[in-house]
């Protein structure tokens, strides 16, 4: 089997590449290294069954050559992360919408099975937890850049559904706060990457707002397992699946956990959203997935407890960045 992983040099993408190679796939990666890092795939570069193309998914003729050649597409390339989207909404919208349009148009032309990576941001600030796949979305006004991310991925989902209506086997997975090795610490990987690096350096751990907002952090091995199972389940085609853990934790609890696991002297400080994101920002206060559909459809359930996943992630940061924590790890 031949697979294309768009965004395959990114944090989730490169972990997926590892899995696909272990499963015996020949893998093509298209990644322009805007958020991905060549270090994430360096161990595959001499492999005859691995092919890296350093280019944008917006290059239609390139994408046509690659897509016509492979059997399955994992479309993960996107501008991800609230911070990046808020900083550059135009790039996020173009990459996420136009990029997916190109991928699906070509997948349809050459009739290739496709998985589209989406996000729990889809649900916006809805507090109807646990968030089921068919829950209402609740977004703020379009003047708040954060929601451009949610809407750009929602358009991707509409595209996926529309092509499925034409018969194309396409499945959508919605990731819930994935974390693990290769998270970016220097740029903006996730709150876990930030807290681990702050704690490693003995710097203040920056909890935004009151820290009572919650997330369901999902270890990357679980994220990849859900992705792989979804793409190999024919009944999943034309549907959307939460890929996340049902272990919910507040951000301030997370800060204490990271501090304790590292035995760090870092103080925990509270930072207003306005200081972190400016005045025009809205937050998702609770984010907990309903995990039943993925379990019923393709037997996926996240299994790595947060403490274990954090230990493994911390070990990776310590190995990669040293105790000084340069944070030069991989970008998501
Ligand atoms: N967060 C925080 N301190 C930081 C970075 C993030 O308290 O230094 C909070 C952020 O406000 C959010 C949560 O941690 O409530 C998860 O943030 P992340 O950017 O990892 O993911 P997302 O907001 O997309 O869920």
Q: How many domains does the chain have?
A: 1
Check which CATH number belongs to the domain holding 236 and give it.
3.40.50.720
**314 Cβ contact partners less than 8 Å away, ≥ 6 residues apart:** 196, 258, 261, 262
Nearest alpha-carbon partner for 212 in 159, 161, 254: 254
Fill in the DSSP letter of residue 203. P
* For ligand 1, atom 8: residue with the closest CA: 206
Asked whether residue 116 is domain-assigned, the answer is: yes
Helices 191-201 and 251-262 cross at an angle (nearest 10°) of 40
Asked whether residue 259 is domain-assigned, the answer is: no
Three-state DSSP state, 127: coil
Find out whether the peptide bond into 60 is cis, omega within 30 degrees of 0: no
Asked whether residue 168 is domain-assigned, the answer is: yes
Sign of CA dihedral 254, 257, 262, 265: positive
DSSP E strand stretches across 193-309:
205-208, 214-215, 218-219, 240-243, 249-250, 268-271
Residue 178 to residue 280: CA distance in whole angstroms: 26
Asked whether residue 174 is domain-assigned, the answer is: yes
Q: Tell which atom from ligand 1 comes closest to the C-alpha of 273.
A: 11
Backbone angles phi, psi at 269, to 5 degrees: -115, 150
Asked whether residue 33 is domain-assigned, the answer is: yes
Q: Quick one: residue 282, left, alpha or beta (phi over 0 = left, psi -120 to 50 = alpha)?
A: beta
Asked whether residue 201 is domain-assigned, the answer is: no
Asked whether residue 20 is domain-assigned, the answer is: yes
The model's pTM: 0.95
How remote is the CA of residue 191 from the centroid of ligand 1, in Å? 5
pLDDT in tens, the chain (332 residues): 999 999 999 999 999 999 999 999 999 999 999 999 999 999 999 999 999 999 999 999 999 999 999 999 999 999 888 778 888 899 999 999 999 999 999 999 999 999 999 999 999 999 899 999 999 999 999 999 889 999 999 999 999 999 999 999 999 999 999 999 999 877 667 999 999 999 999 999 999 999 999 999 999 999 999 999 999 999 999 999 999 999 999 999 999 999 999 999 999 999 999 998 888 889 899 999 999 999 999 999 999 999 999 999 999 999 987 644 444 333 22
Asked whether residue 264 is domain-assigned, the answer is: no
Q: Which residues are catalytic?
A: 149
Residue 190 to residue 84: CA distance in whole angstroms: 11
How remote is the CA of residue 23 from the centroid of ligand 1, in Å? 33
Q: Could you list the residue range(s) of the whole structural domain that residue 24 is in?
A: 2-180+217-243
């Amino acid at each position: 089997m031949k697979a294309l992983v768009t965004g395959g040099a990114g944090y989730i993408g490169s972990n997926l590449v590892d899995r696909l190679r272990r499963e015996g796939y020949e893998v093509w990666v298209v990644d322009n290294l805007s958020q991905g890092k060549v270090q994430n795939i360096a161990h595959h570069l001499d492999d005859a069954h691995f092919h890296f193309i350093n280019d944008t998914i917006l290059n239609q003729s390139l994408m046509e050559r690659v897509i016509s050649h492979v059997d399955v597409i994992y479309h993960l390339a996107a501008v991800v992360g609230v911070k990046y989207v808020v900083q550059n909404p135009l790039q996020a919208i173009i990459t996420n919408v136009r990029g997916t349009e190109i991928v699906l148009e070509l997948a349809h032309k050459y009739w290739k099975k496709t998985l589209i990576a989406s996000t729990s941001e889809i649900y916006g600030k809805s507090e109807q937890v646990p968030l089921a796949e068919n829950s209402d979305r609740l977004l703020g006004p379009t003047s708040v850049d954060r929601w451009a991310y949610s809407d750009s991925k929602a358009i991707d989902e509409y595209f996926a559904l529309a092509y499925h209506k034409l018969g194309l086997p396409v499945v959508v997975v919605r990731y819930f706060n994935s974390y693990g090795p290769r998270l970016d610490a220097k740029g903006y990987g996730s709150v876990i990457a930030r807290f681990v690096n702050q704690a490693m350096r003995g710097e203040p751990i920056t909890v935004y707002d009151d820290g009572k907002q919650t997330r369901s952090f999902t270890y990357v091995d679980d994220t990849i397992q859900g992705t792989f199972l979804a793409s190999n389940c024919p009944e999943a085609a034309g549907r959307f699946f939460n890929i996340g853990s049902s272990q919910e934790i507040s951000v301030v609890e997370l800060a204490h956990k990271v501090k304790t696991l590292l035995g760090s002297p870092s103080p925990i400080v509270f930072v207003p959203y306005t200081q972190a994101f400016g005045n025009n920002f809205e937050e998702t206060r609770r984010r907990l997935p309903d995990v039943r559909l993925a379990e019923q459809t393709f037997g996926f359930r996240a299994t790595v407890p947060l403490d274990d996943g954090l230990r493994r992630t911390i070990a990776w940061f310590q190995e990669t960045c040293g105790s000084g924590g340069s944070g030069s790890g991989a970008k998501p």
